[in-house]
Amino acid sequence: MMTENLSQTNTSHEQADSSTSEPVVENSPCEDFSSDNPLTSLKSEWIKVSLEPSLTLVQVMDLKEKFLQYQGIRVQLDGIKVERIDTAALQLLFAFVNNPAVTVGWVEASAELLGAARLLGLSSLMGLPMSEPTDSK
């Protein structure tokens, strides 16, 4: 197939041999870009964004402003620290993950995040696994 020609544009040499159908959620070992200033990164690089432990209506506006910085950028969401999340924050995450101007992949997700997304029927629509991790606190 012709996946090699498509995958070699602006990717590291180690990715050229593997053919993946979905985004790789690893930071590129060749480039060291700070996630504090995603606008200076190349559009082909992944920017890791760690979600806060509490994602509720109180944090939604700040999170929305943060997400607006990532238009046209590939983002890895790390939700392992999420301990509390409400419907408003899940709606914002859903909109961000499904924004056509951003490529989003998940690094990890906490049991709380997975449970809330599953409860609202958003797991598959957000690219999250349907089941929670087996090791819960």
* Residue ranges per structural domain of the chain: 37-126
pLDDT of residue 130: 78
Which helix (H) or strand (E) element contains residue 50?
strand 46-50
Measured distance CA(7)–CA(39) in Å, rounded: 23
pLDDT of residue 43: 53
Question: What is the structure's pLDDT at 51?
Answer: 97
Residue 16 has pLDDT above 50, yes or no: no
Q: pLDDT category, 27, cuts 50, 70, 90?
A: very low
Cβ neighbours around 37 below 10 Å, total: 10
What pLDDT is attached to residue 134? 56
CATH code of the domain made up of 37-126:
3.30.750.24
Q: Is the pLDDT of residue 127 over 90?
A: yes
What average pLDDT does range 108-121 have in this prediction?
Answer: 96
pLDDT at residue number 129: 86
